[in-house]
Amino acid sequence: MEDKAKRLKAASRRIGPSAHEEGDRLPPGQSLTDRFPILHIGEVPRYELDTWTLRVFGEVEEEQTFTYADLLQLPRVQSVSDIHCVTRWSKFDTVWEGVRFRDLLAAVSPKKDAGYVMIHADPDYETNLPLTELMGDDVLLAYHYDGKPLTPKHGWPIRLVVPQLYFWKSAKWIRGIEFMKEDRQGFWENHGFHNEADPFKEERFSEEEYEMPEDEWKYCDYD
């Protein structure tokens, strides 16, 4: 992961298409695709559902551990959203099913001063978000994509989906949700990626000299 972070930060700037090509839905610098590129570093984790757990801890009234079966008991919703990857691809009208993040809050009772969340995921990955970014209707702990269970490469059994931010914030293979009083940067945020990650503001990197090659995503595997 360290090597890829250094390579992306050193990449030369190349400008992608204008958002005007696809109306207001396509952020600047993005290319629209029907593919679903597969991006991750390291091996795809393997799990047994009877032993898989999701730990919720930090600034909560009581630490809890959820099984996959526990999550299936929470209200299930379907959401259709556009997603945007920092590697400059966007995919419209993606269909997800799972548990709204805010519905999980009713079960875990975060403390009043818990304003931030760190998502912990395999293998050795974490990304940070303000709690306010996780309260939307289409922010899900997703277990289905396009009417089918997630494939292992797309984050089975559970991934986060935060469509309003660049997709590195939508961590695959999540195993822990840590509520925090103060913000703390995750993996990519500590390697020069922007802390807020708004695609429509092109918040890719935290420093201007870093950029993302427009064709980075074309070398990835995809569905």
Q: Where are the domains of the chain?
A: 2-222
**How far is it, in rounded angstroms, from Cα 217 to Cα 48?**
30
- pLDDT of residue 161 exceeding 60, the answer is yes
What is the average pLDDT across 157-163?
98
- pLDDT of residue 10 exceeding 70, the answer is no
Helix (H) or strand (E) holding 148: strand 148-149
The pLDDT of residue 39: 82
Residue 208 backbone zone (phi > 0: left; psi -120 to 50: alpha; other: beta): alpha
The pLDDT of residue 14: 36
The pLDDT of residue 20: 40
**pLDDT, averaged across the chain:** 89
The reported pTM is 0.87
Architecture of domain 2-222: Alpha-Beta Complex (3.90)
Q: Which residues share a beta bridge with 117?
A: 129, 179
- pLDDT of residue 1 exceeding 80, the answer is no
If pLDDT is split at 50, 70 and 90, which confidence band does 210 have? confident
pLDDT tens digit string along 33-58?
999 998 887 889 999 999 999 999 99
What's 205's DSSP letter?
A: B
Comparing 70-79, 128-137, 143-152, 202-211, the range with the smallest average pLDDT is: 202-211
pLDDT tens digit string along 60-118?
999 999 999 999 999 999 999 999 999 999 999 999 999 999 999 989 999 999 999 99
Give the pair of three-digit tokens for residue 152.
Answer: 């292992």
The pLDDT of residue 15: 36
The pLDDT of residue 61: 94
With beta carbons less than 8 A apart as the criterion, state whether 14 and 211 touch: yes
One-letter amino acid of 145:
Y
Selection from 40, 161, 151, 155 nearest residue 97 by Cα: 161
Residue linked to tokens 């420093």: 207
- pLDDT of residue 143 exceeding 60, the answer is yes
Q: Which residues share a beta bridge with 125?
A: 121
